[in-house]
Amino acid sequence: MSSLLRDVRSPGWEPDAATVPAVVLLLHGFGSNERDLVGLASALDLGLPWASLRAPVELGNGGAAWFTIATPGNPDPEPVADATEAIWEWVDAQVDPAVPVVPIGFSQGGLMASQLWRTRPSRVAAPVVLGGFVQGTPQQGDAVLVRTRPALFWGRGAEDRVITGPAIERTRAFLPQHAALVERVYPGLAHGISAAEIADVRDFLATEVAPAR
């Protein structure tokens, strides 16, 4: 299993349970890198320590992936599980075990945000899935999520032509049964993140995660 290569962290990074209620993890999409979502930290006015992680699969030209793509929207379970474990290894090494993580992921990173939530639900707070989806393979925390129904934000563009069809239908069926779902679909938006979506995510996190001020 590959390990994460590097990360970018918030100034004064200190994920200590005595001082912060949560740590934000920014998870980029296929072919991007750890610097891609850094701008979200200020746009969302997080008020929390954050780290933007680089995916473990090198693609060249500065890009990386959480797993290679065989069938779009329907990844093989094993590489997804490997990538999930790589993120948890990073979290276990870098974040106080008493501090929950708030994963915010775009596209393939959105799937990884849902994977963290589905594998260790007690460690995850208010996950945000942007232009992403869930995989079909059952996960160890799914039964807990059915009982607890924690909050999750799922936003996507109405004109997205990258994450489509079965992946959307699978996610649409799964999330309402496992989460207190906040779902937003943005007219005119393709496979990207809009200002309106950022505003909605900011409101969601302000409600679900108390900032460290």
Lowest mean pLDDT among 10-14, 28-32, 62-66: 10-14
Q: Hey, how many other C-beta atoms are within 10 angstroms of the C-beta on 94?
A: 16
Among 3-7, 83-87, 107-111, 207-211, the minimum mean pLDDT is found in: 3-7
Provide mean pLDDT across the span 7-24.
Answer: 88
Give me the amino acid identity at 191.
Answer: H
Using pLDDT thresholds of 50, 70 and 90, give the confidence band for residue 133: very high
Q: For the chain, what's the residue count?
A: 213
In the chain, the percentage of residues whose pLDDT exceeds 70 is 96
pTM summary value: 0.94
The sheet carrying 151-157 orders its strands as: 7-9, 50-53, 23-27, 101-106, 128-130, 151-157, 180-186
Q: Identify the bridge partners of residue 183 per DSSP, sorted by sequence position.
A: 154
Q: Please tell me the predicted confidence (pLDDT) of residue 1.
A: 40
3 vs 151, which has greater pLDDT? Answer: 151
The pLDDT, as a whole number, for residue 16 is 81
Structural domains present in the chain: 7-208 (3.40.50.1820)
Number of Cβ within 10 Å of residue 82's Cβ equals 15
Instruction: Quote the CA–CA distance of 79 and 82 in Å, as a whole number.
Output: 5
Helix, strand, coil shares of the chain, percent, nearest 5, are: 35, 20, 45
The tokens of 208 are what? 């679900």
Three-state DSSP at 154 gives strand
Which of the four pLDDT bands, split at 50, 70 and 90, describes residue 4?
low
**Which one-letter amino acid corresponds to residue 213?**
R
Collapsed DSSP state (helix, strand, coil) of residue 87: helix
| Cβ pair 42, 82 in contact under 8 A | no
Which of 138-142, 153-157, 163-167 bottoms out in mean pLDDT, i.e. has the lowest? Answer: 163-167
**What pLDDT is stored for residue 212 in this prediction?**
54
Read off the pLDDT of residues 172-206 as tens digits, 9 standing for 90 and up: 999 999 999 999 999 999 999 999 999 999 999 99
Q: Hey, is 199 helix, strand or coil?
A: helix
Sign of CA dihedral 146, 134, 208, 196: negative
